[in-house]
Amino acid sequence: MHDFFITEWSEMVFIPLEVLNKMAAWLTSQQAENGSFPEISDHIYARYFQPITVDYNGTSHVWHVSTTAYVVIALSKAVRLTSDAKSRAVRGAISGAEYLSSKLRSITDSFQMALVAYALDKAGHVSKDEAFSLLQSMARRGRYVYWSPEEVPDLEIKIIDNKQFIPPHADYLTLGAAGIATSYALLLHLARGQFEISRPIAHWLVEYPTSGYLDKLLEAEALNAFSKRETNHQFYNMKITLSAPSASHWTKVIYINSTNFPNYHEIVVEASRLER
């Protein structure tokens, strides 16, 4: 039900309306009386999806914040629903948003706050401004801006033979959570017209790509939304000079512009050029 599939992929992936209605009906049938959407299995996608929230007193609570936020986002964006499914989705989103709002001031984790802030904004809840303010207070600021349970150091740039090399970044356990949280933060800033602060957020997502399929999906959606708002298109006119450490006297220059930007470019280094 995610709008990334409903809108961006609607011409390639068709989902019948009756299927969407059944999905909404099933989702809303899983909602608890307090408005939350508890996990229906003990199997959790990743540890940062655990239904545990630690408040500012250090007390752990079994609150279903992350799952509820995801469902509220889906229900709030499901604009193609009809009849009973649509009314159930509206009621489910409102009730779920109320549940999230009741936990808002107790959330200390930036991952959960990003999901909740985005969900409350999509649901149009009265506490969406407070959630956005709390999210901003949790941002980690340095060269770029991002949200993560732990600090992610800047990439190390090495100079070898007067050339810059960026080695692969360390595989931090919370990098997936940081990617998801920062993606939702970027989407929220764009939705609220905060474009200037969106730039360093987008740059962080580009520099620190994650490997999980859910992380990648959200990063692609967020960066796609950012690219539609970006007015600086100088990157469509680039001169790229390539060289290889194993062929010190070999260089290749290619030009990227608006006519060939999406094309596949293959660069071949002849074996005779390689140093032995």
End of a domain among 90, 120, 138? 138
Same domain flag for 5 and 56 = yes
* 249 and 220 share one domain: no
- pLDDT for 10: 57
What pLDDT sits at residue 104?
94
* Structural domain harbouring 260: 238-273
3 and 82 assigned to the same domain: yes
Query: Do 41 and 133 share a domain, yes or no?
Result: yes
Average confidence (pLDDT) per 10 residues, the chain, 276 residues: 50 77 92 91 69 84 91 87 90 96 94 95 96 96 89 75 64 77 95 90 84 77 82 65 74 78 73 58
Residues 183 and 256 placed together within one structural domain of the fold: no
3-state DSSP of 121-188: HHHCCCCHHHHHHHHHHCCEECCCEECCCCCCCCCCCEEECCEEECCCCCCCCCHHHHHHHHHHHHHH
Q: Full-prediction pTM beyond 0.85?
A: no
For residue 57, give the 3-state DSSP assignment.
coil
pLDDT of residue 195: 87
Q: How many domains does the chain have?
A: 3
Which pLDDT value is given to residue 274? 57
Same domain, 42 and 123: yes
- What's the pLDDT at 44? 65
**23-29 contacts, C-beta under 8 A, 24 or more apart:** 24/75, 24/78, 24/81, 24/85, 24/86, 24/88, 24/89, 24/92, 25/84, 25/85, 25/88, 27/1, 27/71, 27/74, 27/75, 27/89, 27/92, 28/75, 28/88, 28/89, 28/91, 28/92
Q: Cα separation of 153 and 155, whole Å?
A: 6
One domain, residues 98 and 200: no
What pLDDT was estimated at residue 172?
59
Same-domain status, 128 and 215:
no
Task: Measure the N-to-C terminal CA separation of the chain; round to a whole number of Å.
Answer: 55
Report the pLDDT value the prediction gives residue 251, as an integer from 0 to 100: 81
From 80, 105, 138, the end of a domain falls on: 138
- Pair (81, 204) in one structural domain: no
Shortest CA distance to 73 belongs to which of 16, 115, 37? 115
Q: Do 22 and 145 share a structural domain?
A: no
52 and 177 assigned to the same domain = no
H/E segment holding residue 1: none
In sequence order, the 6+-apart residues with CB closer than 8 A to the CB of 181 are 110, 111, 113, 114, 115, 146, 147, 148
* Same domain assignment for residues 16 and 45: yes
Last residue of a domain, one of 123, 138, 153: 138
